[in-house]
């Protein structure tokens, strides 16, 4: 038991220990200061020259957004083209067929938005070419998009008045060359040495101990899994994701993958502090996020380690915890830690089946995605947090008798409007999506019987989880859901698109508007944003707006299930 | 002046406010407040549901009585919110009216172009008309003296009993309606149209029509509308959820949940808070031209204050006579006194006073003045004095002015006198050198007297984060000394009117908000440039037009009060928003279990308050939601007390009181109401 908990502490400690120096390094990279990877500068210059980009051209916040949306559109077209024709393209040793257009659409969107909701199984659904040039490629660039957008905000929050906020392509390319590519290389090597395949050869035939002959899927797995975690993407090479023994062979790889996915979201917080030279602000943000994270983690670990009372009643020993749907090589605590890190952070990879978790653990997983700002995804976690921060600054500012200001910039009606829309969007998409599905299902339970594996409270949780996961761009599934139907494909697809780009556009716009404003010098009457008191304020805003809005829905799902179980 | 400490709810005001509470139910007025407007929609729905049940009883919707009670409570919520706004308006109006009453319907003697005088009622005076007022008469309306000089009793407006002198030309030319002329006769030109005086504007501002939302109020309204929308989504989507879960929810429960969750407390009190802010300014005898000005005052970073009258008491006073070497001290005192006997300036008078304290009888010296020629101070000679009948020239003046006289007459200017003059100056005093027939006789030391308690006020301002700047005509040395002694952060010495302007501009360029007070016409540009410009009522019309507030008391320290009123205004909004939102936690725990308990008994575990029954839980929540509004009206009207303890400490304090309090209070309140409701059910 204690060893399990120690494992969890080691994973968090490792991530934090690596995130601090990485944060400082990232701040240097994006400020253009001297850093350890400056020897890569010629490579970057080559990329810019090749693509005809002037990386020194300063952009306004609108130009940043245009650049961001344009390249995203290009990738989408590229991904669609490859997925629809992969059957006839090279690098397809297993002769997997081309995707149908609707599934290709869903897959392209899903990986473009860093969500990685998968309505296919990698073993049979994708060729190696698709795995490399669509899936792995999008996993790199979608993570870099989020990081670049966050850096625009870093730049905008400096104490000066300007509308020039650096060059988007510069941020974007450097996120790749200085962070994602080198980081993935290291992780992929560790994985490969622990047994994760890295080959372009097709299926391997073998005879098991039982004497059955099976064909084991292989492929360029290690490379893909590395960026899957590091870029908080979450979409697995295999259908079973990191529960698959080749995707996540042992406890060591589990630690590496888990640390990898928490690394960048943590490092970005500290990068903000180093970039703006406001370390206390970074610690405040880290503190708020960590309190929220631990509040979700603690009950999950508790309930998973204490087993399922209903199964205990059947006479099955629950001393090792609730192990249904979990891998023995990871155990209850590490699986609980994995599930919460993957839901607070919009990674969404799984090493155990969330459907089988205890009801309150499922609640915590959903709350992690509903708040979506306790660390959050690569770069975008900070963007979400920023919207909450603006609302907290506004109320707190009034409470100390001054027109609210954040880092010397006044928060006025326009910023408020955007922040409100961004924070409103999330509950709207989740609740409206679930409501429509519930309405359809309740209207004709027999026709839609295939949608839900379990009726009742658990079925409700399944629907709620699916839309929460889509809206949080998380990508993990509660499973037990027949999700490869037109309704699920279309509805979650729409949710995916809206919930990716609006929460990027909104915060970048707020930051851009703030950057243009005059800097108000700090005085004794200014509310400092880097204190514990203000941290409490931000946390309260997140809890009351983001979490409480879901209380009635959660009551009908996991809470009702919990109380009927205990 | 009406007494300032009147109770919050005077009977006649309450009566008027009650009437207005119903008038304001008009949806055309209501839509300005999105939060309360949605409550009104909910109330209307409840009305139809209740009426429908009368015709066609439906057990799923609960009894008629229960639905009717929910409807009544919602209606009450609306009325309470309207009442809060109405009582704030009524109080503001009453305050303004009591000021206006003093000036209404006084006969005015108007002079036409031909010089004929006719009597007209003051309310019919047009801008540009001329009238005369004599000793013993009341000035009919605001205006500017174009001819004559008069002493005026302004106590009706300012409460200050000492009469003031007003004269044509210069900065003391404006008169206020309602004040009384004590001596002489003046001709005055009317400067405002009837119904357009500052008071009239203020009254209009307090009344709904002219009241514009301030930028902060708009931003807050957006936030509250956002919260409202979130709960629209929560409540609407709950319907299919409930159908899926086979837990039918009555319409009354939906509406109750919605109304309880949206921030009705702050939504209902928001406009009352704004009006009360202007009202508090008015109670401090400051007329604001917009609600925004009061709000901006709370944000002020820099305060420009005139030295004289604000930091120091009136003018400089003589504190010491320093004779030149070889001159008898008594001789110096007598000369200085003789030169000052006819000097009406405060400095001159203070010399005579100091002489009297040192046992020199000014009465006796008076005799020397027979046939003497008075030499007035001019900017050119920078000295004044007398030339006696026997030809003796006594002069007093600035050190270098007397030095010039002495040099011209080939008289020495003793080293000791130079040193003394410098010593006096470096001590913040002003040296006045006295000469007799161009011979330097000694130095009179004039000192500024700093107002008692002013250091503490500046300390308080510093803690608020406000930088104080002293504006003075003194030389930099003197200015520095007084600045240090009084504790201001910065000073502008040898200030010309344009210096103020430059200073304000520079501060504003670095993002700061600047407030200043002024009275002269040459202050007008700076008053207009400043973010908060408070014109003194005694000031010129130009100054009053340029500023965005008028201080009826002519009290230069008023700015400090105005800043606190502004801060209180913002704080009251912020704390009540926090309180309102924090209340949701308890309301969720009252209503959510009540919604589902019957169909899903296991959810009864969420009923941590152990409320009697689902219906009593919902009723208790809406009743609490309704009565918290009037319960907080006094706080909204008085404002949350501002304490300059630093922003972080202030936030901590307010978060504890209004945040944590906002979480706990409704748990207790709802439980108590439930106990009470349980008795009747």
**Local confidence band at B210 (pLDDT 50, 70, 90 cut-offs):** low
Mean pLDDT of A535-554: 89
Closest CA to A246 of A191, A187, A196, A188: A196
E strand segments, B476-580: 490-492, 514-518, 532-536, 549-551
Which residue of chain B has the CA closest to A456? B245
- Does residue A516 belong to the interface with chain B, where contact is any CB pair within 8 Å? no
- Does residue A556 belong to the interface with chain B, where contact is any CB pair within 8 Å? yes
B1 belongs to a structural domain:
no
Which positions of B make up the binding site for Mg(2+)?
519, 523
Is residue B306 annotated as part of the catalytic site, yes or no? yes
pLDDT digits (tens, 9 = 90+) for B254-272: 999 999 999 999 998 988 8
Task: Return mean pLDDT, chain A.
Answer: 91
B5 belongs to a structural domain:
no
Structure confidence at residue B315 (pLDDT):
67
Model confidence at B350: pLDDT above 90: no
Shared domain check, B631 and B584: yes
Alpha carbon of A538: minimum distance to chain B alpha carbons (Å): 12
- Does residue A518 belong to the interface with chain B, where contact is any CB pair within 8 Å? yes
Asked if A442's CB is within 8 angstroms of B244's CB, the reply is: yes
pLDDT digits (tens, 9 = 90+) for B273-287: 988 888 888 888 888
Shared domain check, B281 and B306: no
Structure confidence at residue A1 (pLDDT):
53
**Local confidence band at B579 (pLDDT 50, 70, 90 cut-offs):** very high
**Local confidence band at A418 (pLDDT 50, 70, 90 cut-offs):** very high
Catalytic residue among B306, B448, B474, B553: B306
- Which CATH number is B115's domain given? 2.70.150.10
**How many CB atoms within 10 Å of residue A177?**
18
Structure confidence at residue A369 (pLDDT):
93
Mean pLDDT of B78-106: 79
B557 belongs to a structural domain:
no
Shared domain check, B667 and B578: yes
- Of the listed ranges A149-163, B413-427, B611-625, the one predicted with least confidence: B413-427
pLDDT digits (tens, 9 = 90+) for A335-350: 999 999 999 998 889 9
- The pair of structure tokens assigned to A236 is 């697995």
**Local confidence band at B2 (pLDDT 50, 70, 90 cut-offs):** very low
Residue that the structure tokens 């918290």 belong to: B628
Report phi then psi at A405, rounded to 5.
-140, 150
Which value, to the nearest 10 degrees, does the dihedral of the CA atoms of residues A70, A74, A80, A86 take?
-160
Contacts of A562 (CB under 8 A, 6+ apart): A358, A359, A360, A363
Provide, as residue numbers in chain B, all residues whose Cβ is less than 8 Å from the Cβ of A553.
234, 237-238, 241
pLDDT digits (tens, 9 = 90+) for A174-195: 999 999 999 999 999 999 999 9
Model confidence at A392: pLDDT above 90: yes
Which positions of B make up the binding site?
343, 347, 377-384, 396, 519, 523
DSSP 3-state of B548: coil
Look at residues B502, B519, B552 and tell me which one is the last residue of a structural domain.
Answer: B552
Domain span at residue B277? 11-96+202-285+563-680
Mean pLDDT of A399-418: 89
**Local confidence band at B5 (pLDDT 50, 70, 90 cut-offs):** very low
Structure confidence at residue B41 (pLDDT):
94
Structure confidence at residue B453 (pLDDT):
79
Structure confidence at residue A493 (pLDDT):
83
Structure confidence at residue B11 (pLDDT):
84
Closest CA to B252 of B99, B15, B60: B60
pTM, to two decimals:
0.84
List, in sequence order, every residue forming a beta bridge with B470; answer none if it has no partner.
B305, B491
B558 belongs to a structural domain:
no
Model confidence at B314: pLDDT above 70: no
Shared domain check, B575 and B519: no
CA distance A48 to A46: 5
Helices and strands (DSSP H and E) totals, chain A: 22, 4
Residues A5 and A301 sit within 8 Å (Cβ to Cβ) = yes
Model confidence at B76: pLDDT above 90: yes
CA distance B593 to B572: 33
Model confidence at A160: pLDDT above 50: yes
Of B220, B234, B592, the CB nearest to A549: B234
Helix, strand, coil share of chain A (percent; to 5): 65, 0, 30
Look at residues B386, B414, B447 and tell me which one is the last residue of a structural domain.
Answer: B447
E strand segments, A252-411: 405-406, 409-410
Structure confidence at residue B498 (pLDDT):
78
Give B152's DSSP letter. E
pLDDT digits (tens, 9 = 90+) for A116-139: 888 888 888 899 999 999 999 999
Q: Which residue has the higher pLDDT, A172 or B499?
A: A172
CA distance B665 to A184: 53
Model confidence at B99: pLDDT above 70: no
- Which CATH number is B526's domain given? 3.40.50.1000
**Can you state the angle between helices B558-596 and B264-283, rounded to 10 degrees?**
160
B606 belongs to a structural domain:
yes
- Does residue A393 belong to the interface with chain B, where contact is any CB pair within 8 Å? no
Residue from B229, B232, B237, B654 to probe the interface with A (highest A Cβ count within 10 Å): B237
**Local confidence band at B185 (pLDDT 50, 70, 90 cut-offs):** confident
Structure confidence at residue B174 (pLDDT):
81
Residues B171 and B165 sit within 8 Å (Cβ to Cβ) = no
Asked if B301's CB is within 8 angstroms of A399's CB, the reply is: no
Look at residues B447, B467, B490 and tell me which one is the last residue of a structural domain.
Answer: B447
Shared domain check, B343 and B433: yes
Report phi then psi at B374, rounded to 5.
-85, 130
CA distance A77 to A59: 25
**Local confidence band at B4 (pLDDT 50, 70, 90 cut-offs):** very low
Shared domain check, B335 and B382: yes
Structure confidence at residue A79 (pLDDT):
93
Residue from A394, A399, A464, A562 to probe the interface with B (highest B Cβ count within 10 Å): A399
Q: How many CB pairs under 8 A join A and B?
A: 209
**Local confidence band at B160 (pLDDT 50, 70, 90 cut-offs):** low
CA distance B316 to B444: 12
DSSP 3-state of B252: helix
- Does residue A159 belong to the interface with chain B, where contact is any CB pair within 8 Å? no
Shared domain check, B118 and B20: no
Shared domain check, B645 and B624: yes
Residues A176 and A234 sit within 8 Å (Cβ to Cβ) = no
Structure confidence at residue B3 (pLDDT):
39
Structure confidence at residue B1 (pLDDT):
34
Share of chain B above pLDDT 70, in %: 93
**Local confidence band at B29 (pLDDT 50, 70, 90 cut-offs):** confident
Shared domain check, B610 and B463: no
Which value, to the nearest 10 degrees, does the dihedral of the CA atoms of residues A23, A24, A28, A29 take?
-30
Shared domain check, B487 and B354: no
B101 belongs to a structural domain:
no
Report the domain count for chain B. Answer: 4
Provide, as residue numbers in chain A, all residues whose Cβ is less than 8 Å from the Cβ of B229.
424
Residue that the structure tokens 């109320």 belong to: A395
Residues B136 and B151 sit within 8 Å (Cβ to Cβ) = no
Burial class of residue B387, CB neighbours in 10 A (0-12, 13-18, 19+): middle
**How many CB atoms within 10 Å of residue B370?**
8
B92 belongs to a structural domain:
yes
B197 belongs to a structural domain:
no
DSSP 3-state of B516: strand
Residue from A402, A408, A411 to probe the interface with B (highest B Cβ count within 10 Å): A402
Shared domain check, B213 and B181: no
Structure confidence at residue A343 (pLDDT):
93
Which residue of chain B has the CA closest to A458? B245
ipTM: 0.90
Shared domain check, B89 and B233: yes
Model confidence at B211: pLDDT above 70: no
CA distance B591 to A142: 42
């Amino acid at each position: 038991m204690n060893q399990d908990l120690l494992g969890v502490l080691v994973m968090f400690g490792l991530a934090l220990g690596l995130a601090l120096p990485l944060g400082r390094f990232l701040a240097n990279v994006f400020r253009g200061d001297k850093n350890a990877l400056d020897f890569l500068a010629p490579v970057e210059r080559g990329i810019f020259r090749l693509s005809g980009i002037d990386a020194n051209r300063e952009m306004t916040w609108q130009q940043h957004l245009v650049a961001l949306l344009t390249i995203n559109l290009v990738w989408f077209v590229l991904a669609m083209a490859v997925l629809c024709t992969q059957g006839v393209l090279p690098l397809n040793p297993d002769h997997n067929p081309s995707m149908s257009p609707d599934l290709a659409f869903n897959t392209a969107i899903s990986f473009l938005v860093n969500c990685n909701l998968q309505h296919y199984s990698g073993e049979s659904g994708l060729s190696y070419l698709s795995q490399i040039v669509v899936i792995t490629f999008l996993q790199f660039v979608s993570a870099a998009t989020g990081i670049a957008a966050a850096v625009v905000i870093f730049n905008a929050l400096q104490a000066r008045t300007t509308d020039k906020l650096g060059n988007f392509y510069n941020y974007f390319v450097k996120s790749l060359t200085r962070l994602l590519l080198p980081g993935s290389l290291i992780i992929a090597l560790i994985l490969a040495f622990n047994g994760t395949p890295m080959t372009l050869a097709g299926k391997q035939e073998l005879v098991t101990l039982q004497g059955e002959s099976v064909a084991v899927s292989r492929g360029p797995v290690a490379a893909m899994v590395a960026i899957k975690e590091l870029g908080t993407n979450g979409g697995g090479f295999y259908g079973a994701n990191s529960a698959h023994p080749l995707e996540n062979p042992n406890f060591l790889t589990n630690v590496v993958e888990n640390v990898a996915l928490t690394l960048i979201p943590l490092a970005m917080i500290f990068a903000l502090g180093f970039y703006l030279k406001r370390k206390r602000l970074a610690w405040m943000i880290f503190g708020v996020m960590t309190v929220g994270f631990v509040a979700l983690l603690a009950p999950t670990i508790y309930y998973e380690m204490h087993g399922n009372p209903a199964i205990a009643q059947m006479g099955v020993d629950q001393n090792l915890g609730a192990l249904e749907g979990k891998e023995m090589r990871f155990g209850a605590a590490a699986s609980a830690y994995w599930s919460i890190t993957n839901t607070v952070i919009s990674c969404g990879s799984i090493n155990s089946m969330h459907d089988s978790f205890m009801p309150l653990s499922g609640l915590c997983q959903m709350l992690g995605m509903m708040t979506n700002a306790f660390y959050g995804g690569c770069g975008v976690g900070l963007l979400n947090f920023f919207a909450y921060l603006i609302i907290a600054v506004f109320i707190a500012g009034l409470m100390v008798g001054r027109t609210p200001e954040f880092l010397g910039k006044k928060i006025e009606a326009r910023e408020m409007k955007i922040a409100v829309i961004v924070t409103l969007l999330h509950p709207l998409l989740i609740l409206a999506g679930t409501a429509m599905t519930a309405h359809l299902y309740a209207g004709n339970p027999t026709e839609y019987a295939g949608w839900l594996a379990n009726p009742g409270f658990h079925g409700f949780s399944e629907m709620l989880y699916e839309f929460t996961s889509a809206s949080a761009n998380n990508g993990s599934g509660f499973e037990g859901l027949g999700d490869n139907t037109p309704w699920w494909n279309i509805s979650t697809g729409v949710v995916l698109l809206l919930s990716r780009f609006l929460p990027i556009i909104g915060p970048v716009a707020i930051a851009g508007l703030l950057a243009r404003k005059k800097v108000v010098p700090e005085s004794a009457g200014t509310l400092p944003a880097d204190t514990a008191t203000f941290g409490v304020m931000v946390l309260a805003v997140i809890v009351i707006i983001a979490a409480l809005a879901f209380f009635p829905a959660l009551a009908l799902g996991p809470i009702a299930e919990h109380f009927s179980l205990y | 002046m009406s007494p300032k400490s009147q109770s919050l709810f005077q009977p006649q005001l309450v009566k008027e406010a009650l009437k207005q509470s119903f008038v304001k139910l008009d949806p055309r007025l209501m839509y300005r407040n999105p939060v309360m407007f949605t409550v009104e929609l909910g109330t209307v729905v409840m009305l139809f549901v209740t009426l429908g049940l009368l015709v066609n009883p439906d057990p799923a919707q609960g009894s008629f009585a229960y639905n009717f009670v929910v409807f009544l409570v919602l209606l009450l919520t609306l009325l309470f919110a309207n009442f809060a706004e109405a009582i704030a308006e009524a109080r503001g109006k009453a305050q303004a009216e009591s000021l206006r009453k003093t000036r209404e319907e006084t006969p005015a003697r108007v002079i036409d172009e031909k010089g004929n005088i006719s009597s007209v009622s003051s309310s019919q005076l047009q801008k540009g008309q001329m009238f005369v007022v004599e000793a013993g008469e009341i000035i009919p309306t605001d205006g500017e003296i174009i001819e004559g000089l008069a002493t005026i009793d302004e106590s009706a407006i300012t409460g200050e009993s000492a009469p003031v002198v007003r004269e044509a030309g210069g900065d003391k030319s404006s008169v206020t309606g309602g004040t009384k002329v004590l001596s002489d006769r003046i001709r005055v030109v009317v400067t405002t149209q009837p119904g357009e005086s500052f008071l009239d504007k203020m009254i209009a501002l307090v009344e709904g029509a002219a009241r514009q939302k301030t930028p902060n109020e708009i931003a807050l309204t957006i936030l509250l509308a956002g919260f409202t929308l979130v709960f629209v989504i929560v409540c609407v989507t709950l319907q299919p959820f409930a159908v899926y879960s086979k837990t039918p929810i009555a319409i009354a429960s939906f509406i109750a949940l919605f109304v309880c969750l949206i921030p009705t407390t702050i939504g209902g009190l928001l406009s009352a808070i704004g009006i009360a802010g202007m009202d508090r300014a008015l109670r401090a005898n400051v007329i604001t031209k917009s609600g925004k000005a009061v709000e901006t005052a709370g944000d002020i970073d820099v305060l420009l204050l005139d030295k004289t009258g604000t930091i120091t008491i009136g003018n400089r006073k003589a504190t010491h006579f320093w004779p030149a070497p070889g001159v008898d001290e008594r001789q110096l005192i007598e000369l200085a006194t003789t030169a000052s006997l006819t000097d009406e300036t405060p400095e001159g008078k203070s010399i005579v006073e100091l002489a009297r304290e040192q046992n020199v009888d000014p009465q006796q010296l008076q005799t020397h003045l027979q046939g003497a020629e008075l030499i007035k101070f001019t900017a050119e000679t920078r000295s004044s004095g007398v030339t006696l009948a026997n030809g003796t020239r006594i002069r007093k003046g600035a050190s270098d002015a007397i030095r010039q006289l002495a040099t011209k007459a080939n008289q020495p200017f003793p080293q000791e006198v130079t040193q003394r003059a410098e010593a006096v100056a470096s001590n913040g005093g002003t040296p006045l050198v006295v000469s007799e027939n161009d011979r330097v006789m000694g130095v009179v030391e004039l000192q500024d007297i700093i107002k008692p308690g002013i250091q503490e006020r500046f300390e308080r301002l510093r803690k608020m984060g406000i930088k104080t700047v002293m504006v003075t005509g003194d030389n930099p040395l003197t200015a520095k000394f007084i600045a240090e002694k009084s504790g201001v952060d910065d000073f502008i010495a040898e200030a010309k009117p344009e210096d103020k302007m430059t200073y304000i501009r520079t501060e504003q360029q670095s993002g700061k908000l600047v407030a200043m007070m002024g009275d002269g016409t040459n202050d007008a540009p700076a008053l207009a440039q400043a973010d908060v410009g408070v014109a003194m009522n005694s000031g010129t019309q130009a100054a009053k037009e340029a500023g965005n507030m008028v201080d009826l008391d002519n009290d230069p320290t008023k700015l400090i009060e105005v800043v606190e009123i502004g801060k209180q205004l913002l704080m009251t909004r912020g704390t009540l928003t926090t309180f309102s939102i924090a209340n949701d936690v308890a309301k969720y725990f009252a209503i959510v279990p009540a919604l589902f308990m019957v169909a899903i008994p296991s959810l009864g575990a969420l009923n941590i308050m152990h409320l009697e029954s689902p219906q009593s839980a919902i009723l208790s929540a809406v009743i609490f939601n309704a009565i918290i509004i009037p319960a907080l009206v006094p706080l909204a009207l008085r404002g949350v007390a501002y304490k300059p303890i630093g922003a972080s400490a202030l936030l901590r304090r307010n978060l504890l009181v209004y945040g944590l309090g906002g979480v706990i209070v409704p748990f207790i309140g709802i439980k108590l109401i439930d106990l009470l409701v349980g008795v009747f059910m």
